Every structure is written in structure tokens, then in C-alpha cells.
Amino acid sequence: NGNINLTPNGSGEVVAATLSVTDLTANRVVYAGASGSLTNDANLTFNGTTLTVTGTSNVTGQLNADNIRIFTSTLYISIRCRS
């Protein structure tokens, strides 16, 4: 069926110096999807500098941020905190 099964040698992990997953897209954040398969989504990206979340974001607990900018189609707010 084209699948390759890797079995750890007792330590519970498989170590690979290089691993390539051909159905992933550059700059998308990789996470474990259904059944533990690696997946990514266009709504969660990181270009090396900026983490972008498209859609609704829920944060529970404290969120620390500085230089906050809020963009909408009709409003732009920029907040800078200085100590």
C-alpha cells in the first residue's frame, strides 16, 4: 500500500536527521491532525518573523503583547505601551 512502518527500538521514539512530508506547504505551522498525522492550514502561518492567525482566536489566561495593531476594513488602531 506504499506505507512504511517504523518501530522504535525500545526508547519509544523514532529519530530522523532529515524528514520530508510532501503534502505540507511552506510557511504554514505544522501540527498533529486526525490520527496523529502531520498537517498544516492556510489560516495559521509563520514566515520567520510574523505569526498570522486568520479567523477567530481564543486566548485563555494572560496574553502579553507590545506594539499592538488592530486592523479592520474601516478602523485602524495602533497601541504602544511605554514603561
Phi-psi group of 2: left, alpha or beta (phi > 0 → left; psi -120 to 50 → alpha; rest → beta): left
Beta carbons within 10 angstroms of residue 16's beta carbon: 7
The grid cell for 75 is 478602523
Report pTM: 0.64
Position 8 confidence tier, pLDDT thresholds 50, 70, 90: confident
**pLDDT at site 62:** 86
The grid cell for 58 is 481564543
